[in-house]
Amino acid sequence: MRIAITTPTGNIGRELTKRLLDQKRHELILLARTPDKLKQEQARGAKVAQGDLGDAASVKKAIQGADALFFLCPPNFAVPNYRAYYVEIAKKGAAAVKANKIKHTVLLSSVGAHLSKGTGPILGLHDAEKIFSEATQGLTILRPTWFMENHLWHLDEIKNTSSIFMPLSGNLTAPMIATVDIAERAARVITGPAPSRPKILSLHGPKDYSLDECARIIGRAIGKEVRHVQVPPAKAKEAMIGMGATENVADTMLEMYAAFQAGTLKDEAKRSAETTTPTTFETFVKDVLAPALKG
């Protein structure tokens, strides 16, 4: 099976690539702007097509002849309009899928993508789902919940202040998922049969966690108390802009946080055995976050 993968240097794309290479029965095409970051994967037999998701011609050429495509639109905090950015990337990807008659496309979307307003950057994925659904019937949409890896944005805060600052209350609970589990499910889906019409698969992680609980788990793992601290939206916006986000991106992120806080940003599918994944937050902290703090 010939499988094309976008963003193969990210958390999900790299793990998906590793899992498919481990199976030793697929030809992989990795679409990347910087092939030098994929030397290990190339040594294992993957082919790298240099290109950019913003370049329609390079995407179309890269996935030519592929049986299946994993499509992930990478976040970009420097864009002037976050929703328009997602739409632009999705249109180019969907056009390449249609032109190449890709049999099965696996699109990474998000919890809340069924909602048409009030979800910030997820509105771009709401649009992307529609764009790809119009381009192909052989579409599986993955809607994972809050990434555990989002806590990696707070490494400096944890190191320097033993705190995690967010514009969310500590008692807010939400399902959380490790990206390794998203990659595992993507590998399973993309190597399986293509659906005859667009299919949605929600991914809810092992359980719901409160943000206070996450802070306590991190603290136990690193041997010091860590607190979740709710900050005003204006402070959060200032911090995001200080990290390079445009004003539009910061505002859309705050809209998403507000939806989480209000309880309106949640999945339309209920948790089930199919949507539950194994990696706990404790395991994520031990395997990923704690080592990152030492790095």
In a domain, 157, yes or no: no
Once rounded to an integer, what is the mean pLDDT over residues 165-189?
98
Q: Structure tokens of 28?
A: 């992989």
In a domain, 113, yes or no: yes
In a domain, 23, yes or no: yes
E-strand stretches of 172-264:
173-177, 199-203, 208-210, 227-230
The DSSP secondary-structure symbol of 8 reads T
In a domain, 166, yes or no: no
In a domain, 108, yes or no: yes
- 235-281 pLDDT, tens digit each: 999 999 999 999 999 999 999 999 999 999 999 999 999 999 999 99
Question: Is residue 194's pLDDT more than 80?
Answer: yes
- 129-142 pLDDT, tens digit each: 999 999 999 999 99
Q: Structure tokens of 115?
A: 């909602």
CA 92/CA 85 separation, integer angstroms: 11
Contacts for 60 with CB less than 8 Å, ≥ 6 apart:
95, 96, 99, 100
Domain count, the chain: 1
- 24-55 pLDDT, tens digit each: 999 999 999 999 999 999 999 999 999 899 99
In a domain, 28, yes or no: yes
Q: Which domain holds residue 123?
A: 2-145+178-203+268-276
What pLDDT is attached to residue 94? 98
In a domain, 161, yes or no: no
**Which CATH number is 7's domain given?**
3.40.50.720
In a domain, 89, yes or no: yes
